Structure 1
Amino acid sequence: MFVDKLRKEASGNSVVVVFPESSDARIVEAACIAGKKNYCTPILLGNEAAIKKLGAKIGCSLNHVIIIDHLKSDEREEYAERLAEKRKKKGLTYKDALKLMDNANYFGGMMVECRDADGLITGAVGTTAQTVRSAIHTVGVAQGKKWVSGACFCMHKEKMLLLADCAVIEQPTSEQLCHIAIDSAETYEFFAGKKAKVALLSFSTKGSASHEMLDRIRKAVVMIRKKKPGLVVDGELQVDAALRPDVAKRKCPQSPIKGDANVLVFPNLDAGNISLKFLNILAGYEIVGPFLQSVSKPVNDLSRGCYVKDVVDMTVFMSVQVRRLRKKK
């Protein structure tokens, strides 16, 4: 499995990952495992006594975990000042920013923004909307980017796909589909080390149907090719034409994808999120994500239905993400 290779790369505790949702047993257990296995130095935010009580209840040693009570931390004022300065054009005052430090997602986000942590993982308890909002407010959108989207790795045996957008943009425009596709290709190549082959999915393959929804996808493909002429991309494609070479030969023989897509971009959030859950529940694919694309520093989301293993795997990915980003600088 691909994750097994990443686990070796993640070994060593030089990466600091903050977990805001310390009231959840899955998060506490995953942080303990990640710390013990040396995937990162985990920080749990919250009341120390409550976290230790929960750790004892689930039989987890906290020896490899750092606990910070964000409600009592000496960094609250500094983080609030930084956040108020960052958001002053939006009307955020220092007083309001200080109140936001009661929210562990905001406190943790400012830890990452101020480089007191390398990354943040949240979403096992809160919604994706809450995760995205706090991420945009604290670490912000990356320079040159416009929209945050959510991409998930789906893995089964030797098969690995990246699906997007599965988390954020409900009804993407052509321009947003263009950005989602380009960001997703970059995410796939960053982690997989292989060339991305991007398929923009729909119920039609290369003009087999007519609808205004399809016009939006076709326009997006034109925009992608103009922005990234070297990217292997095609659309609109049905799933079988995107993933089965034999079907691609019949339906779209001229397609550069040739039935071997590894990045699947969905026409809307309904299709992306539903497909993701189907792959996980019915087909047994392992899911890691959503990765928040286009944020300036590593902040990644979880599904509220996640298991401990899912959180540990996300931690492995984040550790590798941070290490590789350091090497690029």
Structure 2
Amino acid sequence: MKVLDRIIQKAQSQNKTIVLSESQDNRILRAASIITERKIARIILIGDESTIQEMAKRHHINLNGIDIINPNTSLLKKTFSQHFFALRKHKGITYEQAEQQITNPLYFANLMVHTGLADGTVNGAIYTTPDVVRVAIQIVGMHENSDLVSSFFLMMLCKPFHNLQGGLIFSDCGLVVDPNTKQLAAIAIAAANSAQCLLEVEPRVAMLSFSTNGSAKHAAVDKVIEAAKLVQQQYPHLAIDQDVQLDTALVTEIAERKLPSSKVKGLSNVLIFPNLEAGNIGYKLTERLGNAVAIGPLLQGLKKPANDLSRGCSVEDIINVVAVTAVQSMDNH
């Protein structure tokens, strides 16, 4: 079974509640309708019900079975104002400001996750990535074992012509521009956990570089090597190769020749890029030239799932990210 099919099937088995804040976008409404029809998740839309229903009618979208909450009139407004004030008063926010802020659908959606009324949230069809990430950190908060929020793409290689078959985790391709050694180690650990959750396999991590096993001497290589050592200290049983070129990470014959001591042996399922520049180029090359399906950017390092969408996302993209978010929420309990 394809990895994505398995993720959707797993989501269908649990009926998790996912909240979407961008109900003024017809892509979101179409995705919500399909998700509900396929029983991938229970959907809550944030916004004015009459406006949403009018748009749905105009675009011939069936919203039966979908809850709609208006943050301006919801009975949750007072409780959410108190929660947000408690979370942000140390930053100087007043109760009145909190009361006003939580009527923003993005804030309201994250507060539903924070208070346990939803299992996860997906935003970003309209909101920018900085807004999505900032609000998630402020409200959902960081996971107790994490001090960094990073991102990953789930890259699906499932077409007959793909030499590699299955799913790969690419990280970080969307958020942390130039991670230092400690941050790169944190990204690798989070990505390994993401692989275990979504791919349901033991993670095999490649710390990518233009060097293999010290073949090049440079500060950029040193950063990758030191980050790998930090990961290994914390997780001694994790299969991880430090400073490997991409071919060594993915081709067994090349790994045998260039890195006989490899723990991953050319069978990587988690690729850690040294910086955002490399990661962003890498995932787009794989998507555009390799015809892989790229799901993300997905966030890691939060207490509960709050994921981002590309503003150019398709309805199918939204469905896939909601399914992944539902599965991530199972891993958080």
Fold conserved between structures, TM > 0.5: yes
**Which residue of 1 is the match for residue 155 of structure 2?**
154
Contact 2:303–2:332 (8 Å) recurs in 1: no
Contact 1:233–1:257 (8 Å) recurs in 2: yes
**Which residue of 1 is the match for residue 177 of structure 2?**
170
**Which residue of 1 is the match for residue 231 of structure 2?**
224
Contact 1:242–1:258 (8 Å) recurs in 2: yes
Q: Which amino acid aligns with 2:219?
A: E
Q: Equivalent of 1:304, from 281, 298, 311?
A: 311
Q: Which amino acid aligns with 2:83?
A: R
**Which residue of 2 is the match for residue 140 of structure 1?**
141
**Which residue of 2 is the match for residue 127 of structure 1?**
128
Give the Cα separation in 1 of the matches to 2:13 and 2:260.
47
1:189 aligns with 2:190: no
Give the Cα separation in 2 of the matches to 1:280 and 1:92.
43
Query: What is the Cα deviation at residue 14 of structure 1?
Result: 3.4
**Which residue of 2 is the match for residue 280 of structure 1?**
287
Contact 1:150–1:164 (8 Å) recurs in 2: yes
Give the Cα separation in 1 of the matches to 2:319 and 2:101.
28
Contact 1:167–1:269 (8 Å) recurs in 2: yes
**Which residue of 2 is the match for residue 260 of structure 1?**
267
Contact 1:12–1:40 (8 Å) recurs in 2: no
1:313 aligns with 2:320: yes
Q: What are the equivalent positions in structure 2 for 1:196-215 lying under 5 Å apart?
A: 196-215=203-222
Query: What is the Cα deviation at residue 58 of structure 1?
Result: 2.4
When residues 277 and 304 of structure 1 are mapped into structure 2, their CA distance, relative to the original with a 3 A threshold, is farther
- Aligned-residue sequence identity (percent) comes to 36
Q: CA RMSD of the aligned region, Å?
A: 1.5
3-state SS in 1 of match to 2:148: coil
Give the Cα separation in 2 of the matches to 1:277 and 1:208.
27
State how many pairs are aligned: 326
3-state SS in 2 of match to 1:11: helix
3-state SS in 1 of match to 2:65: coil
Give the Cα separation in 2 of the matches to 1:13 and 1:212.
47
Q: Equivalent of 1:245, from 237, 252, 260?
A: 252
Query: What is the Cα deviation at residue 119 of structure 1?
Result: 0.8
When residues 212 and 90 of structure 1 are mapped into structure 2, their CA distance, relative to the original with a 3 A threshold, is same
Specify every segment of 5 or more residues in structure 1 that has no aligned partner in the other structure, as ranges.
none
3-state SS in 2 of match to 1:267: coil
Q: Which amino acid aligns with 2:293?
A: E
**Which residue of 1 is the match for residue 109 of structure 2?**
108
3-state SS in 2 of match to 1:120: strand
Query: What is the Cα deviation at residue 12 of structure 1?
Result: 5.3
Give the Cα separation in 2 of the matches to 1:138 and 1:325.
16
**Which residue of 1 is the match for residue 62 of structure 2?**
61
Give the Cα separation in 1 of the matches to 2:130 and 2:141.
15
3-state SS in 2 of match to 1:233: strand
Residue deviations 1:282-315 (CA, integer Å, cap 9, x gap):
2111122222111011111112222111111111
Query: What is the Cα deviation at residue 13 of structure 1?
Result: 6.9
Deviates further, 92-101 or 59-68 = 92-101
Query: What is the Cα deviation at residue 324 of structure 1?
Result: 4.6
Give the Cα separation in 2 of the matches to 1:320 and 1:225.
27
Query: What is the Cα deviation at residue 86 of structure 1?
Result: 1.6
**Which residue of 2 is the match for residue 44 of structure 1?**
45
Give the Cα separation in 1 of the matches to 2:291 and 2:89.
46
Deviates further, 196-205 or 269-278 = 269-278
Contact 2:128–2:311 (8 Å) recurs in 1: yes
**Which residue of 2 is the match for residue 179 of structure 1?**
186
Give the Cα separation in 2 of the matches to 1:57 and 1:140.
38
Give the Cα separation in 2 of the matches to 1:142 and 1:322.
13
Q: Which amino acid aligns with 1:107?
A: F
Give the Cα separation in 1 of the matches to 2:323 and 2:213.
38
Contact 2:206–2:240 (8 Å) recurs in 1: yes
**Which residue of 1 is the match for residue 243 of structure 2?**
236
TM-score computed with the length of structure 2 as normaliser: 0.94
Off by >3 Å, runs of 4+ in structure 1: 323-326
**Which residue of 2 is the match for residue 92 of structure 1?**
93
Contact 1:18–1:42 (8 Å) recurs in 2: yes
**Which residue of 1 is the match for residue 161 of structure 2?**
none
Specify every segment of 5 or more residues in structure 2 that has no aligned partner in the other structure, as ranges.
159-164
Query: What is the Cα deviation at residue 133 of structure 1?
Result: 0.2
Give the Cα separation in 2 of the matches to 1:308 and 1:90.
37
